[in-house]
């Protein structure tokens, strides 16, 4: 999909400065751009790249005054970052499915609203409801009695077990599993017996979930991810967990059963959070920390395993790194004290 | 699927105390119950909820004597927990597939016993044997020469590579992979050469495995998960690992190649276990620990990375948290000793 | 698939010593071998097993002189390890798909070179190019404009998003996701807004990737895995990461956005690497380490979270384990100093 500078100028409401017929097929970073791409200069710090970039088109601020020759055609706009957003969305290569594939398996009791798209080899079970504008890629499984809102995107291989509920404007990436059984067993006569997992998962609106995540259904009631949450890849959310609004979770985090995470938390990669804990609003947890307990106080910063205060951990770790020195100092003192004793 | 109090009483062999015609559609927790749900009072500690619950039906002990008014219809049973189990299994929303889907791809050499169910877009390759009562959801892959026992459940997207063996009564959740290649390469003339991975995976009876796990095939011989083991989600089991009976493994644990784990171990979330190690029976490993070596002694409790004794780690960590104080004490002593010297 | 000793001798160009008609169906380890299997004696250290093994056929060195009775038929070869490789490849139970399945969904604009195999329920979108000899198992998704080289193997359930590029001789195991969106959001008026992820993933030749991995596409430009890299299972590679040639990464490692990993690094299991960092060539990182910063110097060995020098960490950890003792020593000194003071 090629566009000329003239087309792009009309699209972005920009003034052209240079060849209006040069064509581009994709966006690029100013310092890595090749001919045939459009780049942008948003931060004056990077002005030098404007004179060396190989981009065919460069989006710049209205009042940009080149100090040297620029080979790219310039598109002058009032707000470079806003235009960048518009441009990127335009070029986005998502190749979304369109319409209902004849190769999907859709139960006749399922209710699909208008503009729903479902691709090949996807299974929709009994009594599902799917809101308008929702796009479901191939090899997806939607168990019975699942409710999916409007403008949801489910990428290939997503599996949603029976009875779960997905809000409007949710995006879930490939091979993520929603609603697998919570991990609950009781030992009886030397054998583990499974505790039936009868709850579901509720994902509220505007949530994004990455690829290869596992979100388990509740034993009873619901595992809940509240609106605006953002989850990266390979994350474990156990049964009966509740995650507060707009909390951000980096990849490979594990949250154990019945933990309640507050709103606006920031959880770093590979963090582990123990079960039945309450993490207050606005808590920031450094990557790889293991949270076993936490004070009831908003906006803490945690680090370590078990996690303590972030600065506290770093101060202790600074000394940890020099423990051999510390021991030497103690050895010296011991010797000195011993001598003193003799002297005395 | 609605049931009346009368139906449920017959089903649970209970005595009705209240309106026999009230209907319920799902179970709920006593403290969160809404009208239309059935709840239970098992532990007398929670008796207060019996007087405030909105559940339409409440399962209670035979001899329960309300101290206040109860709005729910009571079902009196000899053993509340037993009835709970029966009830939950009854309501379980698993919507299992039934029969053989015409949209599955099943090699004619595969042997399917009676009551096998296979859903759409599932592939069964050559010479597979599948035991009676086994249920295979959609988008599953079963490589050639795989043997699957009776009453096995494979959830959507499970992939089982050629030559693996799955015992009776095993459950594997969505998108878990059994039998991918072990991770083995040798450097030859500056290039890695793959070591062929010719073994398989053997999963014994009564094993449960969560979603998005990876269990690699052995280089030669078998990677073995013994009977009764319970694995949570996103777990890595490398080539030639052997896991003993009834061992429980929480999510995101990684077990490196040729490690041998004893029976009845409890392994916390995100634990890492090094290769070629033997973990004795009954070992308990705290979440996020990294086990690089371990004494040959049953029922140890480990913590830390590298892991040491659980109590030992906590005692050291308690001092670690106050290392700046410790250093101050040393500084003070140094000063004091210095002064003493001068005094002497 | 059974082979007689005679067949195998012809295949390996070996001399037979024993029953030429005995048949075997699979390879095995010499110490665990059962009748019906072929094993090998490569290392003289294991000679004792030659006299007790139950293998039906044993591959040995040309000049092997048994000191006791051997029940297996011997196949004498000039180079046992070379014959082993040949043998293993022969027995490899990969059951690769062959030809193009009529149950796959392939866009007519896709270009498939000769000897491409595509199995059932796989989706190939618009404008894909797939090189000769490439084998794609079932339930795979290939987004539009993906380029795949020659002799690539994609196991069941692999998902490759639009615009990504896979080099020659690459192997990707089941349910791995290539090209899911990078994790980028900006807070605007109290709501997270997604940053469009417009780049792709480039995987160069001879790369192996395990099962259930997530490799995110770049925000702009490419996430790059350079030739010869070997990745185990359940690994997270974030947007705009670049991994240098022949780097080896164990399972459950997480690499954050825009990190650049050098060539020939060895990264242990469950390691976390922070974003926008440069890891020099040949760096070795111990399992579970968290790398937040690193000196610009090749071939370092790191350990800890945050990671420091490997030996430095172990030395400090050795003292950490005895911190209660250390504190006791300090306590004693304090007492001693206090007494000294009084004495003085």
Tens digit of pLDDT for each residue in B30-72? Answer: 888 889 889 999 888 889 999 999 999 999 999 999 999 999 9
- Architecture of the domain whose range is A3-91: 3-Layer(aba) Sandwich (3.40)
pLDDT of residue B50: 93
Please classify residue B335 by burial: count the beta carbons closer than 10 Å to its beta carbon, then call 0-12 exposed, 13-18 middle and 19+ buried: exposed
pLDDT of residue A262: 98
- pLDDT: is A343 or B165 the higher one? B165
CATH 3.40.1390.10 region(s) of chain B? Answer: 3-91
Partners of B127 on chain C (C-beta within 8 Å) are: none
3-class state of residue C149 by DSSP: coil
CB A165 within 8 A of CB A146: yes
pLDDT of residue B195: 87
**C143-162 residues touching A, CB cutoff 8 A:** 143-145, 157, 159, 161-162
Residue B109 has pLDDT above 70, yes or no: yes
Which of C24, C141, C269, C325 would you mutate first to test chain B, the one with the most B CBs within 10 A? C269
Residues pairing with C136 in the sheet: C118, C154
For helices B323-343 and A310-320, the axis angle rounded to 10 degrees is 50
CB B146 within 8 A of CB B162: yes
> Which residue of chain A comes nearest to C120, CA vs CA?
A121
What is the arithmetic mean of pLDDT over A21-44? Answer: 87
pLDDT of residue C42: 84
What is chain B's alpha carbon radius of gyration, rounded to the nearest angstrom? 28
Residue B148 has pLDDT above 90, yes or no: yes
pLDDT of residue C1: 55
pLDDT of residue C95: 64
The series of mean pLDDT values per 10 residues for chain C, 344 residues long, is: 83 92 86 88 88 94 92 93 77 72 94 96 96 97 96 98 97 98 91 88 98 95 96 98 98 98 98 98 98 96 98 97 96 87 66
Angle at C87 between CA C82 and CA C88, to 5 degrees: 100
Place of tokens 């690029």: A28
Q: Do B220 and C156 touch (CB under 8 A)?
A: no
CATH 2.160.10.10 region(s) of chain C? Answer: 105-314
Regarding the domain delimited by B105-314, which CATH topology (the fold level of the hierarchy) does it fall under?
A: UDP N-Acetylglucosamine Acyltransferase; domain 1 (2.160.10)
CB A262 within 8 A of CB A242: no
Residue B40: what are its φ and ψ, rounded to 5°? -145, 150
Partners of B224 on chain C (C-beta within 8 Å) are: none
pTM score of the predicted model: 0.85
pLDDT of residue B82: 83
> Which residue of chain B comes nearest to A187, CA vs CA?
B246
Decide if C286 touches A, using CB distance below 8 A. Answer: no
pLDDT of residue C248: 98
Partners of A123 on chain B (C-beta within 8 Å) are: 119-121, 138-139, 156
Decide if B92 touches A, using CB distance below 8 A. Answer: yes
Which of C233, C286, C330 would you mutate first to test chain B, the one with the most B CBs within 10 A? C233
CA B159, CA B177: separation in Å to the nearest integer? 5
Decide if C252 touches A, using CB distance below 8 A. Answer: yes
* Active-site annotation holds for A239: yes
- Token pair, residue A54, equals 């190989």
pLDDT of residue B175: 98
- Token pair, residue B85, equals 């189990």
CB neighbour list of residue C1: distance below 8 Å, 6 or more residues apart: C25, C91
pLDDT of residue C175: 98
Decide if B182 touches A, using CB distance below 8 A. Answer: no
Which residue among the candidates C90, C144, C173, C239 is catalytic per the annotation?
C239
ipTM of the complex: 0.83
Q: Do A88 and C196 touch (CB under 8 A)?
A: yes
CA C5 → CA A21, A131, C22, C24, C59, distances in Å?
A: 73, 64, 6, 8, 10
Helices (H), chain C: 5-12, 47-50, 80-91, 310-320, 323-343
Residues pairing with C267 in the sheet: C249, C285
Interface chains of chain C (3 or more CB pairs under 8 Å): A, B
């Amino acid at each position: 999909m090629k566009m000329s500078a003239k087309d792009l100028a009309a699209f972005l409401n920009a003034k052209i400065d240079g060849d209006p017929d040069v064509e581009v097929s994709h966006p690029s970073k100013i310092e890595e751009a090749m001919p045939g791409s459009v780049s942008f200069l948003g931060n004056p710090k990077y002005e030098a790249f404007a004179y060396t970039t190989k981009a065919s088109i460069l989006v710049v601020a209205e009042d940009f005054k080149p100090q040297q020759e620029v080979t790219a055609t310039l598109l002058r706009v009032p707000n470079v970052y806003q235009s960048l957003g518009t441009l990127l969305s335009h070029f986005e290569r998502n190749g979304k499915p369109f319409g209902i594939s004849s190769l999907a398996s859709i139960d006749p009791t399922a209710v699909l609203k208008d503009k729903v798209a479902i691709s090949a080899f996807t299974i929709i079970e009994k009594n599902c409801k799917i809101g308008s504008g929702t796009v479901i890629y191939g090899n997806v499984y939607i168990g019975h009695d699942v409710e999916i809102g409007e403008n949801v995107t489910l990428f290939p291989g997503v599996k949603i077990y029976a009875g779960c509920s997905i809000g409007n404007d949710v995006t879930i990436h490939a091979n993520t599993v929603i609603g697998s059984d919570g991990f609950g067993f009781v030992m009886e006569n030397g054998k583990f017996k499974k505790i039936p997992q009868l709850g579901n998962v509720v994902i509220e609106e505007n949530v994004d979930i990455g690829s290869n995540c596992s979100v388990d259904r509740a034993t009873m009631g619901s595992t809940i991810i509240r609106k605006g949450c953002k989850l990266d890849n390979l994350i474990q959310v156990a049964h009966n967990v509740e995650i507060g609004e707009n909390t951000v979770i980096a990849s490979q985090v594990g949250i154990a059963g019945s933990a309640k995470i507050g709103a606006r938390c920031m959880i770093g990669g590979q963090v582990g959070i123990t079960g039945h804990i309450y993490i207050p609003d606005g808590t920031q947890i450094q990557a790889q920390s293991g949270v076993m307990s936490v004070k009831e106080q908003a906006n803490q910063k945690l680090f370590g395993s078990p996690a303590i205060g972030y600065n506290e951990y770093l101060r202790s770790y600074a000394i940890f790194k020099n423990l051999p020195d510390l021991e030497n100092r103690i050895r010296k003192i011991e010797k000195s004290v011993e001598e003193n004793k003799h002297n005395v």
